[in-house]
Chains A and B, each alone.
Chain A
Amino acid sequence: MILFFLVSGLFLGWSLGANDASNVFGTAVGSKMISFRKAAIIASVAVILGAVIQGAGASQTLGRLGSVNAIGGSFTLSLAAAFTVYSMTKFSLPVSSTQAVVGAIIGWNIFTGNRTDPGTLITILSTWISGPIIGAVFSVLLYLLIRRIKRASGIHLIRFESLIKKGLIIVGAFGAYSLGANNIANVMGVFVPAFKLHDIDLGLFSLTSAQQLFLLGGLAIAAGIITYSKRVMDTVGSNIIELSAEAAMVVVLAHSLVLFIFSSTTLSDLLARAGLPRIPMVPVSSTQVIVGCIAGIGVYKGVRNINFKLLGQIALGWVTTPVISGLISFFSLFLVKNIFNIDTGSKITDDNMDYYSSVVADENISLIFRYVLIGIIIAGSLALIYYILLERKRVKEIKLSEEKFWKNLK
């Protein structure tokens, strides 16, 4: 039963993969620089690595916004956020998973009578505004730089595009890594206090309880990318403004940098050591950042190129998403608590500050986790090898058919 509660988190992960992966590789796939299959594989691997290696930072900020202290509450608010993201994705509306989760947590706070920490809320809200602005500035600066280099070097167009393609793969992988690192907090953050799993020792490194949850969440995001993100990827980029190959790469790079900045504790520590203010570790909305980056390029090229109607719809989504998610969360918590009689959490007082109902610390669950994770990793690796072999066969077939054509012509 306790593992069942994770399903809503996994559903949210899947929705995030389906929706937000398009922010990372959408411009590359939309501009046909990279095939969807290649993009999906790279994004899946990188997102899992980001979630496991660097996912802890942003999770703590969400914890401060609302310390959900019952797994029933975590389950319900995750489900509310996932439902919001899924529904809006289904209707092709741009949606931010971060906003959905924040809205759902505030819904939980209101339902349980907890106070929403205004400082944390303001920190999160400010990154919703600063994220796209920083993204826009980064993208314009990088775009100017790359164009200057291109013009000065006199590089052949085909060689340049080939470099851009490689750049898109590297930057896209970095973007997916940052997405995993930054947004895994949305998917699994609320479940972390509920599980005390045994560490999994993998020889070279070991996975803590939180990392195991992040790995599972990362796998759910990867599943979302592979199964449902194609449609969104095909439309991103070309909708707001038609992007050239170098602009596509710049947008992904700027977006990845913003996400990385808001999830790198190392960078934040470095700034603090230099006497500068710390960077808040906040799960920023990758959708908002990417829109900011694309709009930045659009403004640089001339505002006439920008689809303002679509930008307006996106901005409206930014307001409606947390509100809808908060309302769904509130009413779902009411139903779960009163109809199914499940503990959804309580008001946090000085006495129950560190209290969390039904903490999972069972050895068997740790074992199940271990085998499920190892099984998924092996299956994923086999699928990857199969894909590589299939690609090689395809190229070989084309080469053979071409040789046959010229042989017949002689």
Chain B
Amino acid sequence: MALFTRTTKNLILRIDEFIDNVELGLLVFREGIKAFLEKDQKTFLRHLHKLESLESNADKLQRTIENEMITHSILPQHRQEVITLIDKLDEIIDVLKSSLVDYNIEQPDIPASLNKSFLSLADASLFAAEELIPATRAYFRAPHTVRDKLLKIYYFETETDKISKSLKKTIFQDMNELDLAQKSNLRYIINRLEAISDLAQRAADLLSAMAIKIIM
């Protein structure tokens, strides 16, 4: 029995730590993007390294959580969904890290006039992902409140789409001084930022179904 209690306690701590990692990753990414747009390479690299370490820790935690859940037959009826949810959260932190890594390698040239729009896009997309964190925590403690918390994710995802569309339109229709390669590169960056809210929405869909299942 003592073994069960210890396993349960450890698993709860690990899940909390994993969610903390993702939450922290979102904050670090926001700061990283800001530093990148302000061309502050030193701060950008500091955030990149921090994000790399968070992502690596999240991977390790994800594997440990999955192993413990299977080995000790924890949450047998909801295990698969919980594992998938954790996988989706891990995908978000993976995208955050790989985006910063790509920006560091490619060093895309973002026109200063678009800084504000890029920042708004990153903000909206990150807000969607950030709203996923309390919803995920609520699933484990108060599943009946999950669906209320998911509303904001869908709102910010739609906002992200709008900003992204308008930004792409500006780049491709109004900024003739940019060549096609640069335009394509900017579109790629926009898509990467947009992907964060898309992943958050997909996780929200799953979380919504999981909450219904557990309430019923």
A31–B74 alpha-carbon span in the complex (Å): 12
- Binary contact readout A21-34 vs B (1 if CB under 8 angstroms, 0 otherwise): 00000000001111
Say yes or no: B144 contacts A158, CB within 8 Å.
no
Say yes or no: A166 contacts B77, CB within 8 Å.
no
Q: Is the interface of B mostly helix, strand, loop or mixed?
A: helix
- How far does the Cβ of B68 sit from chain A's closest Cβ, in whole Å? 9
Contact segment of B1-9, B25-33, B47-55, B100-108: B1-9
A159: nearest chain-B partner, CB-CB: B8
Residues of A near B216 (CB, < 8 A) are 244, 301
A406–B60 alpha-carbon span in the complex (Å): 9
Contact segment of B135-143, B150-158, B199-207: B135-143
Does chain A have a CB within 8 A of B12? yes
Say yes or no: B74 contacts A161, CB within 8 Å.
yes
Does chain B have a CB within 8 A of A389? no
A161–B74 alpha-carbon span in the complex (Å): 8
- How far does the Cβ of B42 sit from chain A's closest Cβ, in whole Å? 29
B11: nearest chain-A partner, CB-CB: A158
- How far does the Cβ of B57 sit from chain A's closest Cβ, in whole Å? 12
Say yes or no: B214 contacts A157, CB within 8 Å.
yes
**Cβ < 8 Å to B, chain A residues 241-285:** 244-245
Residues of A near B113 (CB, < 8 A) are none
- How far does the Cβ of A26 sit from chain B's closest Cβ, in whole Å? 15
A34–B76 alpha-carbon span in the complex (Å): 9
- How far does the Cβ of A389 sit from chain B's closest Cβ, in whole Å? 15
Does chain B have a CB within 8 A of A196? no
**Cβ < 8 Å to A, chain B residues 61-89:** 64, 67, 71, 73-78
Residues of B near A244 (CB, < 8 A) are 77, 214, 216
Say yes or no: B75 contacts A158, CB within 8 Å.
yes
Does chain A have a CB within 8 A of B15? yes
Say yes or no: A158 contacts B73, CB within 8 Å.
no
How many chain A residues sit at the interface, stated as a range, is 20 to 34
Q: Which of B73, B140, B141 has a CB less than 8 Å from the CB of A35? A: B73
**Cβ < 8 Å to A, chain B residues 157-198:** none
B74: nearest chain-A partner, CB-CB: A158
Q: A32-B77, A155-B141, A157-B139 are in contact. Are A162 and B8 (CB under 8 A)?
A: yes
Say yes or no: B1 contacts A156, CB within 8 Å.
no
A244–B212 alpha-carbon span in the complex (Å): 13
Residues of A near B214 (CB, < 8 A) are 157, 244
Q: In the complex, which of the residues A161, A244, A402 has the most CB atoms of chain B within 10 Å of its own CB atom?
A: A161
Does chain B have a CB within 8 A of A312? no
Q: Which of A35, A158, A245, A402 has a CB less than 8 Å from the CB of B12? A: A158
Say yes or no: A162 contacts B144, CB within 8 Å.
no
B3: nearest chain-A partner, CB-CB: A395
Say yes or no: B71 contacts A398, CB within 8 Å.
yes
B1: nearest chain-A partner, CB-CB: A166
Q: In the complex, which of the residues A162, A166, A301 has the most CB atoms of chain B within 10 Å of its own CB atom?
A: A162
Does chain B have a CB within 8 A of A231? no
Residues of B near A398 (CB, < 8 A) are 67, 71
A243: nearest chain-B partner, CB-CB: B77
A159–B12 alpha-carbon span in the complex (Å): 8
Residues of B near A301 (CB, < 8 A) are 216
A31–B77 alpha-carbon span in the complex (Å): 7
- Binary contact readout A379-410 vs B (1 if CB under 8 angstroms, 0 otherwise): 00000000000000001001000100010000
Say yes or no: A156 contacts B140, CB within 8 Å.
yes
Residues of B near A31 (CB, < 8 A) are 76-77
What are 19 of the A-B contact pairs (CB < 8 Å)? A31-B77, A34-B73, A35-B73, A155-B141, A156-B140, A157-B75, A157-B139, A157-B140, A157-B141, A157-B143, A158-B8, A158-B140, A161-B74, A165-B4, A244-B214, A245-B77, A301-B216, A398-B71, A402-B64
Give the interface of A toward B (CB within 8 A).
Answer: 31-35, 151, 154-159, 161-162, 165-166, 244-245, 301, 395, 398, 402, 406
Sample of 17 more A-B contacts, CB < 8 Å, known A32-B76, A157-B214, A398-B71 = A31-B76, A32-B73, A35-B73, A151-B142, A155-B141, A156-B140, A156-B141, A157-B78, A157-B139, A158-B8, A158-B15, A158-B74, A162-B8, A165-B4, A166-B4, A244-B77, A244-B216
- 9 closest Cβ pairs, A-B complex: A32-B76, A162-B8, A157-B140, A156-B140, A154-B141, A161-B75, A158-B12, A156-B12, A398-B71
